[in-house]
Amino acid sequence: MPFTPQVAAIHDLSAFGRCSTTVVLPVLSAMGVQCCPLLTAYLSAQTAFPASEKSTFVDMSGQMEGVADHWRELGVTFDAIYSGFLASEAQIDIISHFYERFRRPNTDDLLSNSALHSLEHIVATILRNSPEKDAVVYFGPMGCQTGFYVLFDEAKLPLSGIVELLKRAFNEAAAWDREMPGQSPYECGNYRNLDVAVCRKECAYYAQVIQDWTVDKLEYEFRL
């Protein structure tokens, strides 16, 4: 069976007027792509037409997370995700969460070597100087450069404790206003590519990603 790309189209549905989902669906289908709409709103007519007391506008914010939950339950994956019309400011957070949940390896911007290296220096320094430092064994990048390992002594700190420690560490790294630890030829063989600003930026992003982490959320299913 031939491969069919799947695209999550985050859009409104305007019942009258050639725009948004009514246009995207046939175009992507003609290109051989399965279009999976995540509706942000339902409108009786697109916004180019004048509004009236009889026009309909339904904000779909309350349904979007439920749709995403069901897709995850079904094991749905996407080759591309894009967003169009948003019905409210609150949908920015909903869509950001959607991106985080459905991102796939090797399809998004990857951490640069400088980011990995800088993040390692600062986060490891924070962990080694934390009140829980005696439980921390190691923090460093994976060989494939797609993430980090954190090793700890569970006899000294439970799994729930390391989750909270990592949240705190990434928030602290995102606000780091000191010199880069170990940025000298005597302490690091590749010290020239260390960058505090790069680390702050990446840690600010990942601090948001993990802010709702719990032990239960550490179980992942990998799908190609």
Length of the chain: 224
The answer on 59 and 129 residing in a single domain is no
| Burial annotation 147-178 (CB, 10 A radius, 16+ → b, else e) | ebebebeeeebeeeebbebbbbbbbbbbebee
User: What tokens were used for 181?
Assistant: 């630890």
Helix extents (H) in the chain:
20-30, 61-74, 91-102, 113-128, 159-174, 196-209
CATH number at residue 18: 3.40.1190.20
Q: What is the pLDDT of residue 109?
A: 62
User: In the listed set 102, 132, 163, which residue is the last one of a domain according to the structure?
Assistant: 102
Question: Quick one: which of 137, 197, 211, 141 has its CA closest to 169?
Answer: 211
The per-residue pLDDT for range 24-38, each reduced to its tens digit, is 899 989 999 999 999
The answer on 118 and 213 residing in a single domain is yes
Domain contains 90: yes
The per-residue pLDDT for range 65-122, each reduced to its tens digit, is 999 999 988 888 888 898 888 999 889 989 988 887 887 656 556 788 899 999 999 9
Per-residue pLDDT band for 47 (boundaries 50, 70, 90) equals: confident
Average pLDDT of the segment spanning 214-219: 80
CATH number at residue 136: 3.30.1360.80
User: In the listed set 65, 83, 102, which residue is the last one of a domain according to the structure?
Assistant: 102
Place of tokens 């749905």: 76
Task: Say what percent of the chain tops pLDDT 90.
Answer: 56
The answer on 121 and 83 residing in a single domain is no
Dihedral sign (CA 43, 45, 48, 54): negative
The per-residue pLDDT for range 134-187, each reduced to its tens digit, is 999 999 988 777 789 999 999 999 999 999 999 999 999 999 999 999 999 999
**Number of C-beta neighbours around residue 89 at 10 A:** 8
The per-residue pLDDT for range 156-165, each reduced to its tens digit, is 999 999 999 9
Q: What are phi and psi of 29, to 5 degrees?
A: -65, -40
The answer on 199 and 172 residing in a single domain is yes
Q: Which domain holds residue 190?
A: 113-218
Domain contains 108: no
